[in-house]
Homo-oligomer: A and B are copies of this chain.
Amino acid sequence: MPDIARERVESWRSRMQAELQQNVVPFWMQHSLDRENGGYFNCLDRDGRRFDTKKHVWLQGRQVWMLSKLCGADPSRADTSRTDVSRADNSRAGPSRADLLDAATLGARFLREHARRDDDRVYFSLTREGAPLALQRKIFAECFYVLAFAEYARASGDDSYRELALSELDAILRWIDDPTPLGRPRLRGQIATSELAVPMILLNLVSEVRGAPGSPTFRDREDYDRIEARCVASIRRHFDRERGLVFETIGADGSRLDSPEGRLINPGHVIECGWFLLDHARRVQDRELTRDALAMIDGALELGWDREHGGILYFLDSEGFSPQQLEWSMKLWWPHCEALVALLMAWRETGEARWFERFETVADWTFDHFPDPAFGEWFGYLDRRGVVSQRFKGGPYKGCFHVPRALFLCERELRAALELH
């Protein structure tokens, strides 16, 4: 920790832990569990009151993953490398492991029973009872289903969930090569494109499925290595090294597209992708990839940080046109969450104080604007000036995921730094 006082690091570590265990996890444990039908209510107003009973599968899956992660691995398996926040510090204890596992089981069973069709497509949303409401022509519901079951299999020790995760992952890999079964029409004027979201989430997914070193792996290590290498190559084609920019959409041949989609920069997405790459590069010991990931994070924050009002802008056009997304200038919770993780990883990777200082700048703005001490959890949607625009804590795209994941990972990074030095 060159140049950074141990007390500063410890102060952030304990703040992350307290926020996770005392302000965030309890909100979801208290308000989201549907004991009657299973699964989670994920549309929750500021005070936890339900404003909709729909169950969005992205959030169901992410919450199963998060609660399972907080459980730590199945205690009957040898896995000393895994972090277990719920046991780490009993003096500031959040919910017990038994309660977390019980809540994870509630969602896992609901997903298992209702989310997946015979053709392996996974619904986007379900009724309270589990009847299908919507199906997207995308693979993301499927990805969060895999994420959920990979981690839940570890937490519960129930291998049947591992099998479900693996077979769904196979379907996703098939659809990435041939998306025809997803039902989006291919029209003559379209050109083939590559979307950053796909290799990025797949990289994270494989990293989650294969597990931490020493934990049970799901299939041949080589399989995973091959998919990960393909994801990394694909992500790199989105990166313009000279300009330090990562484009959301490029031609399938790697070309830049001169259109609003082709010029679109989503700084939060790039920063999240950056830490996925840092995490991967650390494991495979790829110094060049680390350098690229750091440059991506750096470029996205340079472009995305709002020098007028603070915070990270949601969308930008690389050539300075107005983004078409009406919400482009809003400050969303998740890019800030991702930035906290990415900046701490960058600091731990490089040992350079400037990354920690940047972390503190983002963390100060984030903790000043997003947490809601009155009712728990964080607000998700602020206007450009940082004023709350949407007061709800959970909705179709916000649930028990980005906030607790960031707090969990930040605590882990800070603790590792303290232990190292």
Instruction: Please tell me if the beta carbons of B396 and A187 are within 8 angstroms of each other in the complex.
Output: no
**Secondary structure dominating the interface of A:** loop
Q: A259-B52, A260-B51 are in contact. Are A190 and B324 (CB under 8 A)?
A: no
The chain B residue with its CB closest to the CB of A260 is B52
Instruction: Please tell me if the beta carbons of B188 and A51 are within 8 angstroms of each other in the complex.
Output: no
A416 contacts B by Cβ under 8 Å? no
Instruction: Please tell me if the beta carbons of A132 and B324 are within 8 angstroms of each other in the complex.
Output: no
Q: In the complex, A123 Cα to B188 Cα: how many Å?
A: 12
Q: A322-B390, A324-B396, A391-B322 are in contact. Are A131 and B260 (CB under 8 A)?
A: no
Q: Mark A313-331, 1 if CB is under 8 A from B, else 0.
A: 0000000011110111110
Give the contacts of A374-403 with B (CB-CB under 8 A): 381, 383-384, 389-392, 395-396
Closest CB of chain B to A126's CB: distance in Å? Answer: 6
Contacts of A183 in B (CB 8 A): 183
Most buried by B among A43, A53, A187, A329: A187
Contacts of A321 in B (CB 8 A): 45, 51, 392
Q: A260-B51, A260-B52, A383-B384 are in contact. Are A322 and B189 (CB under 8 A)?
A: no
The chain B residue with its CB closest to the CB of A131 is B189
Q: A321-B392, A324-B395, A326-B390 are in contact. Are A189 and B132 (CB under 8 A)?
A: yes
Q: Which of B132, B135, B188, B322 contacts A132 (CB 8 A)?
A: B188
Q: Mark A170-195, 1 if CB is under 8 A from B, else 0.
A: 00000000000001010111100000
In the assembled complex, 13 residue pairs joining A and B whose CB atoms fall closer than 8 Å, in A order, are A51-B260, A51-B321, A52-B260, A54-B259, A123-B187, A126-B189, A132-B187, A321-B392, A322-B391, A322-B392, A324-B390, A324-B395, A327-B327
